[in-house]
Amino acid sequence: MRRRSFITASGQAISASLLALIGLGGWAWRAEALGGVLPDLDQPAPDFELEGFVPPKQKATLSLRDFQGSWLVLYFYPKDFTGGCTIEARGFQNDLAQFRQAGAAVVGVSADDPDSHASFCSDEDLAFPLLSDPAGEVSSRYGSWIAPYSQRHTFLIDPQGIVRARWVAVRPAGHSQEVLTLLRQLQADPA
């Protein structure tokens, strides 16, 4: 039986048993964030297919199916070349080898176009894909859209395409390490 846990806005995991202890365990509730309704934990991730930039020098269209069989860190962010977004991207880049060693891909999503993503990847030496969601259609499915920007939310999707964790209103500094730590915990104890 899979142990359910919920991730708070600060990124802390709360077990379903703790929620039951405080009287919330029986509630069937949907988590909402400023950007809309978030996908449910332990349920299939919303599908996506977006054009973007895949380093080192390739525009491509990627979908959720392209990551089937591996873990996926899908992070949404407001805008290329801005302070917080640059800090967050650098964090994921610094930890990219560790994510790959753990069998996880990292993909960023914002409303910026593929050419902006190409410049951002080049300027910051990013080696992971950045996808373009200019109308916010995919960001909306992930509860991460307030026009005209994606909100800073992250989702950890398992090899079967199930949302296993989410972070809302992410603080960019140190966020990559938070995700990596929980990824390793989930891999060590998949129950």
**pLDDT per residue over 89-138, tens digit each?**
999 999 999 999 999 999 999 999 999 999 999 999 999 999 999 999 99
HSE-CB of 67 using CA atoms within 13 angstroms = 26
In a domain, 61, yes or no: yes
Residue 85 known to be catalytic: yes
Number of domains in the chain: 1
Identified catalytic residue from 7, 45, 73, 85:
85
On whether residue 155 sits in a domain, the answer given is yes
Would you say residue 10 lies in a domain? Answer: no
Q: Binning pLDDT at 50, 70 and 90, where does residue 37 land? A: confident
What global pTM score does this model have?
Answer: 0.83
Question: Which of 31-45, 58-72, 139-153 has the lowest average pLDDT?
Answer: 31-45
Residue 87 inside a domain? The answer is: yes
Domain assignment present for residue 8? The answer is no
Please tell me the predicted confidence (pLDDT) of residue 95: 98
Percent share of the chain, pLDDT over 90:
78
Looking at residue 105, its pLDDT comes to 98
Domain holding 122, by residue range, is 31-188
20 falls within a domain: no
Is there a domain that residue 182 lies in? yes
Domain membership flag for residue 78:
yes
Q: What does the mean pLDDT of the chain come to?
A: 87
Has residue 160 got a pLDDT over 60?
A: yes
Task: Give the CATH number of the domain where residue 174 resides.
Answer: 3.40.30.10
- For the segment 162-175, the average pLDDT, to the nearest whole number, is 96
